Amino acid sequence: MSYDADALHGFAHDSIARGSKSFALASRLFDRQTRERVWLLYAWCRAADDLVDGQDHGGAMRHGGGGKHDAKAALARIDALTDRAYAGDPTGEPACDALGLLLTEIAIPRSVIDDIIAGFALDADDWRPRSEADLLRYCYHVAGAVGVAMALMMGIDPGDETTLDRASDLGIAFQLANIARDVAEDAAADRCYLPDEWLVELDIPPGQHMHPAFRPRLSVMAKWLAEMAGDYEASARWGARKLGPRSRWAVLAATGIYGDIAREVRRRGDHAWDHRTATSFAAKLGWVARAGWSVLRRPPQRRISREGLWTRPRAEARTGAGE
């Protein structure tokens, strides 16, 4: 039994079109081969995330809803299906087979995929960050490791740890923006990704951060998240200079689009969660144009330092996702 590449590419295209309009637009800027590979990885990530949360391309979570959804069983299923993908064993499950097809075209170390699965495990455990370092570790597992896998698909050498660190930074920037935007949605699902140390520092009682009385203090944390996202975004922009022109165009466009989410949350202040923050189609096109112009110019020569930024664990140093 072999993979049906046409059907799986179609499935992956539909998945990203439903799940992320911003990323779907930016991905159109890749060359066809890279674009299709990016879609395949997205489809697996989206399906695995939804399986753990009991969702369908986002929406209301069933996770934690009176025991009706078993996140631990979902996680075990993801592990088993991923084993089959790495064994080249088609399952008939489109998302799993999307990963399997991808692995026939490009080598992604199992450790990178396991790092992504570790992020799903943290959510399955109802994990919450105690410190800023915990927050950044979570952002790595749910998004930074995806950035590493994406970089490999864009031709970055697996041994180029420096550039892969920059790719991880991009995913971390994206996730910090998402956390700032989704504070209210996460609270409705009984989740909170704001570090306990931040809540204590601003004297916000546990579980009370969405109370109207604490909105001014919550907006301070949104500002911190946006500033952190900006630092990781700047690092990722410099790292993108190692990519080919089409990949650099797509990455820089996505960086601007997602960066606008964090910037808009910060701008709204106390009203950041009155309704969901989104970037307009015109603004997205603006970033596509600016990114294209940037690619036509000489890549930036002034090195942006990573000093002070959190760094992803190396394979030989891993001791567990939530430690």
Residue of 160, 301, 181, 165 whose CA lies nearest to 232: 165
Helices (H), ranges, 4-159 = 5-19, 21-27, 32-53, 71-86, 94-105, 110-124, 132-139, 145-153
Residue of 190, 193, 189 whose CA lies nearest to 179: 193
User: What is the reported pLDDT for 65?
Assistant: 43
Rounded to whole angstroms, the Cα distance separating 38 from 23 reads 10
User: What is the reported pLDDT for 27?
Assistant: 92
Q: Which residues are within 8 A (CB) of 261 and not within 5 positions of it... i.e. 6 or more apart?
A: 177, 178, 180, 181, 277, 278, 279
Rounded to whole angstroms, the Cα distance separating 213 from 192 reads 18
Q: H/E element holding 65?
A: none
Residue of 247, 241, 232, 257 whose CA lies nearest to 297: 241
User: What is the reported pLDDT for 321?
Assistant: 41
Compute mean pLDDT per 10 residues along the chain, 323 residues long, and list them.
Answer: 92 92 91 96 94 66 54 91 95 95 96 96 92 97 97 95 97 97 92 96 93 95 96 95 95 94 94 90 94 85 88 66 40
User: What is the reported pLDDT for 120?
Assistant: 94
Rounded to whole angstroms, the Cα distance separating 112 from 85 reads 14
User: What is the reported pLDDT for 71?
Assistant: 84
Q: What token pair was written down for 57? A: 């391309």
Q: Which residues are within 8 A (CB) of 139 and not within 5 positions of it... i.e. 6 or more apart?
A: 171, 172, 175, 176, 179
Q: What token pair was written down for 263? A: 């910037």
pTM of the model: 0.91
Q: Which residues are within 8 A (CB) of 130 and not within 5 positions of it... i.e. 6 or more apart?
A: 195, 196, 197
Rounded to whole angstroms, the Cα distance separating 196 from 233 reads 24
User: What is the reported pLDDT for 149?
Assistant: 97
User: What is the reported pLDDT for 70?
Assistant: 83
Domains recognised in the chain with CATH numbers: 1-110 (no CATH), 128-304 (1.10.600.10)
**Cβ proximity of 103 and 152 under 8 Å:** no
244-268 burial, b at 16+ Cβ within 10 Å, e below that, comes to eebbbbbbbbbbbbbbbbbbbbbee
User: What is the reported pLDDT for 21?
Assistant: 86
User: What is the reported pLDDT for 72?
Assistant: 87
